[in-house]
Chains A and B, each alone.
Chain A
Amino acid sequence: MTVGMNLGMPGGDNIQELSVEELRAKYGSGLEIQSEENMLLSMGPQHPSTHGVLRLLLELDGETVVNLAPDIGFLHTGIEKNMESKTYTQALVMTDRMDYLAPMSNNFGYILAVEKLLGVEVTPRAEVIRVILGELTRILSHLVWLGTSALDVAAQSVFLYCFREREYILDIYEMVAGQRMMASYFRPGGLWRDVPEEFVPAIRNFLDFFPSRIDDYEALLKENPIFHKRTKGVGVISAEDAISMGLTGPSLRGSGVNWDIRKSIPYSGYENYDFEVPLGTEGDVYSRYLCRMKEMRQSLGIIKQALDRLPDGPVQIDDRKIVPPPRSELGRSMEAVIHHFKLWTEGFKAPKGYVFQRVESPKGEFACYLRGNDTSKPARVHFRTPSYVNLASLPIMAKGLFVADLVAIIGSIDIVLGEIDR
């Protein structure tokens, strides 16, 4: 069996000898060309408004987009394949690197899947801290979305304000996990360690100043006539289309579909929190903008409730087969040494079977399919990443609009290419 890429010319052919039709069939990303008179334009992969390395093959009639096909894979790192040769704990660090703007949401989905496969329940304190950090991550991701998508429609000042607040959340990340972005803080059976003392005051402080900052962003955009012209009525997708194309998250709710996994398939105790699911009405870029802005306020509400009920107690389950023993025990307990050694060399074993765990990540439905086979390494890991599936509806939203509108639409579905290609 031959595998891998041929060296030399792509496909082994000489590009100069191929006809235009052959070239399009091979490298046209499946674009079905409507008319020979239209122009083909390759947008990206190096283009600031594609939010990473997304290549779009556009068929243009003048400046109007007649058809388009996304071409992805420039950031493919084979994470799913790599995980099959790592233990469950080692594989965790790769989940951070998929959606690098919302690392803890990815940890959340993967860790819940591992725990489901093992059949363990975490302690109440760990559950609440996970919810707090999960919601902080939602704000973190929405801040980057707000800054960059506003930049796409030429509202340049919003960007730096958003990154100022993002920095505060990254400091909290560093406080709990020692890492600004790739935290890997959620571990099978709980958390890496308990949060430090200054955690709760830092979050309280954030809750105090952040609502007025959201007001500031809205003052810049919400009633801005230029922003209205760029976003209202642009990139409309109906509720039926959105559902059939698998759109999830705020992009789906912008079309008025009331579906949030935190409400419908609650995990990690989300059923105990009181919050609303913001819905849009028009299904355009502006509706999706409003949904995300309201979602940030709802997240603040969830964090506040979680802080008020944050219980004391351990953050890891009391099962030495899954959670390593504390350092203090190693000096006086033989069993602790054995457990420590076994866990860090071999890892824990997961039973045969497959599970599918969904979480509501900032961008939509993030789900992890995990199959165990009685060893310490997963037999198959698959991620249903929201950005990948949301990208499928881009052609529906963008057809018949200008290229400049396409830029606004890409911003509004909030894709991250690390998560698409994974």
Chain B
Amino acid sequence: MSNSDGLFYEKVNDAFPESIIEVVDFRGERTLVVEQAYLKDICLFLRDEEDLVCNFLEDIVADDMLPEFPRFAVNYHIYSIPKNHHIRLRVPVDDPDDGPDSVGTVWPVAYWLEMEVWDLMGITFKGNDKLRRLFLPEDWQGHPLRKDYPLGYEEVQFSFNWQAIDAKKPYAKD
């Protein structure tokens, strides 16, 4: 556990008293679960506050908690190079089409990381108009990392069912 865990909680709680839903400590890592509406302000605060100086956004990870409610959660792993301390902000997201604010204006790399989250998990970020298909083809439908994404197993073609499956295959036949 880093020594600044208490400091993070104190500072954020003082500045945004309503924002923290829960504080989770697990295996020496502290997570502040915060309200979606406060996320961007907290991020700006973490970056600009003298004692925190969180100038480095390590990663944005989206998590699908199905069947829990709220279903999605977005984790922001935030680090401070000068102070050498880190914190995780976790934002529960109920409706993926009404996602959290983009933090691209706080840390420009967020635009790039949010793109991956949208592509694979389908969570939108308000204010990021650069969201596009990154890993998947432009016309792909659905977001594969969601738990309800069908994996599309195909029946295996053996000699006894060769004809039946071959008839459905989409390639040019003579």
Interface residues of A (CB under 8 A from B): 1-7, 10-12, 26-27, 29-30, 72-73, 76, 78, 80-81, 116-117, 119, 243-246, 257, 259, 264-265, 353-356, 358, 365, 367, 369, 371, 379-380, 382, 384, 388-389, 392, 421
Contact = CB atoms under 8 A, between A and B. Distances in A.
Interface stretch (B3-11, B14-22, B35-43, B56-64): B56-64
Given A353-B26, A356-B88, A384-B58, A2 B139 contact: no
Nearest to B145: A81
Contacts of A380: 61, 63-64, 145
Contacts of B173: none
Given A78-B144, A380-B64, A3 B27 contact: no
A7 B140 CA distance: 11
A382 B145 CA distance: 10
A354 B26 contact: yes
A6 B56 contact: no
A392 B111 CA distance: 9
B149 interface: yes
Nearest to A355: B27
Contacts of B108: 244-245
A365 B57 CA distance: 12
Contacts of B27: 116-117, 119, 353, 355
A365 B58 contact: yes
Interface in B130-174: 130, 132-142, 144-145, 148-150, 152, 170
Interface of A is mostly: mixed
What are the 9 A-B residue pairs with the smallest beta carbon separation, nearest first?
A3-B142, A246-B109, A11-B139, A73-B135, A384-B59, A392-B112, A76-B135, A353-B26, A382-B61
Contact of A10 (B109, B134, B139): B139
Contacts of B152: 3-4
Contacts of B57: 246
A259 B26 contact: no
B141 A4 contact: yes
16 contacts: A2-B142, A4-B140, A4-B141, A4-B152, A5-B140, A5-B141, A10-B137, A73-B136, A81-B144, A243-B81, A244-B108, A259-B81, A265-B84, A356-B61, A367-B59, A367-B77
Nearest to B28: A116
Nearest to A352: B26
A1 B150 contact: yes
Contacts of A389: 59, 109, 112-113
B142 A355 contact: no
B135 A4 contact: no
B107 interface: yes
B144 to A, nearest CB: 5
Contacts of B133: 73
Given A10-B138, A244-B107, A354-B75, 10 more contacts: A1-B142, A7-B170, A10-B137, A11-B138, A116-B27, A117-B27, A380-B63, A382-B61, A392-B109, A392-B112
Contacts of A119: 27
B12 interface: no
